[in-house]
Amino acid sequence: MSRWCRNLKTVVQNPNSPFSQASSSYHTIQAIPRECTGSRIAARDRAQGRIPAVVFSQNLLDKNPENRSPSRKQLLTTERKQIQAILKSVELPFFYSTTFPLQIRAGSGSSVLLDSGKVLPVKVHSNEATGSVYNLVFVWADDGTELKVDVPVVFKGEDNCPGLKKGKIVYSPDSVLLGLLYSKGLGKRKQKPLIVLASSLGPGRPIYIVNAQYQANAYCYYAKTGGYLNRIRTTLKYLCPAEHIPPKIEVDVSNLDIGDRVLMHDVEVHPSLKLLSKNENMPICKITATNSENPEPAAM
């Protein structure tokens, strides 16, 4: 049975930290209204250096039609250069858990302010190949409102984690393993670790290879005989007051050993946040041994 984490310290980034302050201070999104919709009009806006956008109350996304309200729904366009600058400084997925001031003006460069408030990005339509942003979707995030937010999970302390630091150097004449390592390029450059079945270490024993090189007429590779971090959840969904949305949740794994795990209810957040999960005992991460009984060998 897996051991519970000892001396676990799980923290959430303060919403008043420099990370969120910088976003609010330097990234006031400027937008202007648009009256018409359609692919041709959107293409024209993009050709003029603008990105079509929409902002509305989050209850408009509610599955129950009776709870939907079209109040404050506005069709907008934003400046492409500004949005690109914001996405460079507040990268995905943190963009979706960061609120921004929004100012809607009568026209580009106009001093007439039509509406303003805080917004939360909920969707970015973009070209995966080029990164070009096609459309943006925001919801109003004024103080006092509650929003459903997928908060990114960030793991820290891996360098000091006892369950991840164990390893040893192994020399192997195994021709099958040599061919596998060569095909993965591990003997030429550092790549992501992979799990293989190395017959030279015993019948079908799995190892976690981190790096490999040719030394003294033998192929040498660094094999982790400890464990690896199994990132089970990359986000957690919370019902958050708009003024207490955390940009990220940091999970400290520096005290975890093999078999230890962090569960959803282990995460300490602001008391006003409500975890939207039917089972708070679900794990966020686990230190998994590399010599599990049924590992998946790397494809040859």
Q: At what angle do helices 80-89 and 18-26 cross, to 10 degrees?
A: 170
**298 or 257, which is more confident:** 257
> Which residue bears the tokens 């390893």?
167
Q: How far apart are CA 253 and CA 259, in angstroms?
A: 12
pLDDT of residue 163: 81
Residue 155 reports pLDDT greater than 70 = yes
pLDDT of residue 197: 41
Residue 200 reports pLDDT greater than 60 = no
Cα angle 246, 249, 254 (rounded to 5 degrees) comes to: 155
pLDDT of residue 292: 40
Give the least confident one: 48-52, 81-85, 174-178: 174-178
Q: Predicted confidence band at 289 (pLDDT cuts at 50, 70, 90)?
A: confident
Report percent pLDDT > 70 for the chain. 63
Cα angle 127, 129, 135 (rounded to 5 degrees) comes to: 10
Q: Predicted confidence band at 244 (pLDDT cuts at 50, 70, 90)?
A: very high
Query: What string of H, E and C letters represents the secondary structure of 20-79?
Result: HHHHHHHCCEEEEECCCCCHHHHHHHHHCCEEEEEEECHHHHCCCHHHCCCCCCEEEEEE
Highest mean pLDDT among 8-17, 93-102, 187-196, 207-216: 93-102
Residue 182 host element (H or E): helix 175-184
Report percent pLDDT > 90 for the chain. 49
Q: Predicted confidence band at 151 (pLDDT cuts at 50, 70, 90)?
A: very high
Task: Give all domains of the chain, ordered by start, each with its CATH number.
Answer: 18-145 (2.40.240.10), 167-225 (no CATH)
Which tens digits make up the pLDDT trace of 105-115? 999 889 999 99
Cα angle 215, 162, 4 (rounded to 5 degrees) comes to: 145
Residue 91 reports pLDDT greater than 80 = yes
Residue 249 reports pLDDT greater than 60 = yes
**97: helix, strand or coil:** helix
Question: Quick one: 279 exposed, middle or buried, by C-beta within 10 A (0-12, 13-18, 19+)?
Answer: exposed
pLDDT of residue 160: 86
Dihedral in degrees, nearest 10, Cα atoms 84, 248, 251, 13: 120
Average pLDDT of span 257-270: 91
Give the least confident one: 14-18, 33-37, 81-85, 253-257: 14-18
